[in-house]
Amino acid sequence: MNKVCVIKTNRFDYPKPPFNPDVIYPELKSLHKNIKIDENNQIFNAVRKSLSLIGMDYENFNTEKWNPFKDLVKPGEIVFIKPNMIAEKHRKNNDWDYVITNGSVIRPIIDYLFIAMKGEGRVIIGDAPQSDSKYWEIIKLMGLEEIRECYKNYRNFEIEIINLQDEYWVTKDDIHIETVTLKGDPRGSVLFNLKELSYFSEFDNHNIKYYGAGYNIDETNNAHKNGDHKYYIAKSPILADVFINIPKLKTHKKCGITVNLKSLVGINANKNYLPHYIFGDPSNKGDQFDHMTIKRKVENFLLINVKKYLSKKNKIIQYLARKFKSKAYDIFGDTDEVIRSGNWYGNDTVWRMSLDLNKILMYGSFNGEINSKRKRYFSIVDGIKSMEGNGPVAGTCKNTGLIISGFDPVAVDCVCATLMGFDYKKIKLITRAFDKIDYRLTDQSAESLEIVSNNELWNGKKIMELDYHSLLHFKPHFGWAGQIELENKKNELQ
């Protein structure tokens, strides 16, 4: 289906758990007969509108028979819901509601899944937050426990909430000083080796060095070397019959935007298998920096050697790193002000890693094989409160009031990028996702995508037909500024 639905609301706040609907809708009479309605919950109705407007069981809409997910999931099946649970708070303050998915967007999805599944089967909610994030605080903020209790008490239906983190990093002064091993996915993990199917195979025999998510540089490079491109993936999302992605609408320092495609970092069982950048600058096939200077060469030398000792839990190096990190920023510049660590438009690494993960999710099996059958997929984006600027955890709040949905993650991300005021053609994460290759991520083309919306300025439009002034014009991350914004073609012609 080449349609993407965009619902525009005038509400920029979220209701309280357990996020009961504002009215008892016809199709939910039996499900909601014992609950107290929440007149302040406008999010439920926005999600409901998005499901109907995109055409899900449209002929029965507003009747007791309406079952929007009837063609997506069957009774007895497993549905995996993946929200954005990156961190319990903004990196510089205690804000959180524009950092992670709000539970009010998840609740109506579960209600309609329950109808389609007739109460039979399993719904799993899970993600792997950043390694230094507190999962238990995240689920509390999101109101997930209240949703689970609501279903357990009123419907005798168990919703499983799982932490896919394999470890938690204890940090002090922004330095990783201790690792706490966690259980991770209760169903275990699966090792995939994409080999020539990986987007990194284009770099085979190029003599480059990757940096992953942790201090152990060798581990990342042993996973990605000539002919081998390995990923450890949590088994629950692989085993699921249906995958429902509920990401947040945000900018991203390493790939421009993060919606569906980038969010699959959260299904990993070992994040250090994920390359984040290539050491160096474009002159030596790197994307860590935009250009190399003497100061940056010194910085890189120190970085590699300090992280080598940090990976060995050297207490003296940990102490020195804690004491001198702020002074290092004074010398080399703050990460929120200078380009480093692949945080710029020239990052040629993260989009590859992200699309590899999408290929594994869509076609991967529990034994690590890649099959021809694509997983059933649905996306609904929480854009009520969004993030612009230095995303994904240090940007600023942008009240957008959007709920965006579709069956194709590439299509949804393409529309999201355009509505954000960005040119999808300048974002490799999206342009390369349209590649016509084996195990394609989409059967659509960007030109064929059609928006359906309650906003007449967007409804029925192809993305190239959208009026420049109707877009939301997000501020990009500073490393992407001036590189991905759409231009006002009308003004150019004048």
pLDDT tens digits, 385-420: 999 999 999 999 999 999 999 999 999 999 999 999
- Is the pTM of the predicted complex or chain greater than 0.85? yes
Band of pLDDT at residue 203, cut at 50, 70 and 90: very high
The token pair at 387 is 């993030």
Q: Is the pLDDT of residue 494 over 50?
A: no
Half-sphere exposure at residue 56, Cβ-oriented, CA atoms within 13 angstroms: 25
Residue 290, pLDDT score: 96
Q: Is the pLDDT of residue 491 over 80?
A: no
Please confirm whether the linkage preceding 392 is cis (ω < 30° from 0). yes
C-alpha radius of gyration, the chain, whole number: 22
For the segment 231-247, the average pLDDT, to the nearest whole number, is 98
**What is the total residue count of the chain?**
494
Percentages of the chain per state (helix, strand, coil), in multiples of 5: 35, 20, 45
Q: Is the pLDDT of residue 9 over 80?
A: yes
Residue 34, pLDDT score: 81
Cα dist. 269→72, 231, 277, 279, 337 in Å? 27, 8, 19, 24, 32
- Over the stretch 318-361, which tens digit does the pLDDT of each residue have? 877 888 788 888 889 888 899 999 999 999 999 999 999 999 99
Phi and psi angles of residue 385, each rounded to the nearest 5 degrees, phi first: -115, 125
Band of pLDDT at residue 492, cut at 50, 70 and 90: very low
Helix, strand, or coil here: 168?
A: strand
Cα dist. 434→203, 236, 380, 410 in Å? 20, 27, 20, 7
Contact 179, 168 (CB under 8 A): yes
CA distance 212 to 402: 33
Out of 108-117, 164-173, 214-223, pick the least confident: 164-173
- Mean residue pLDDT across the chain: 95
Q: Burial of 422 by CB count in 10 Å (0-12 exposed, 13-18 middle, 19+ buried)?
A: buried
Give exposure, 445-479, as e/b (b: 16+ Cβ within 10 Å).
ebeebbbbbbeeebeebebeebeeeebbebbbbbb
Cα–Cα–Cα angle for 240, 250, 392, rounded to 5 degrees: 90
**What's the CA dihedral at 48, 448, 249, 16 to 10 degrees?**
0
Q: Is the pLDDT of residue 304 over 90?
A: no
- Over the stretch 64-114, which tens digit does the pLDDT of each residue have? 999 999 999 999 999 999 999 999 999 999 999 999 999 999 999 999 999
At position 311, the amino acid (one-letter code) is S
- Over the stretch 176-186, which tens digit does the pLDDT of each residue have? 888 888 999 99
Out of 24-33, 306-315, 429-438, pick the least confident: 306-315
CA distance 25 to 119: 19
DSSP code per residue over 205-258: TS---EE-SSS-HHHHHHHEETTEEEEEEEHHHHH-SEEEEE-EEEEETTTEEE
For the segment 208-218, the average pLDDT, to the nearest whole number, is 93
Quote the percentage of the chain above a pLDDT of 90: 84
Residue 176, pLDDT score: 83
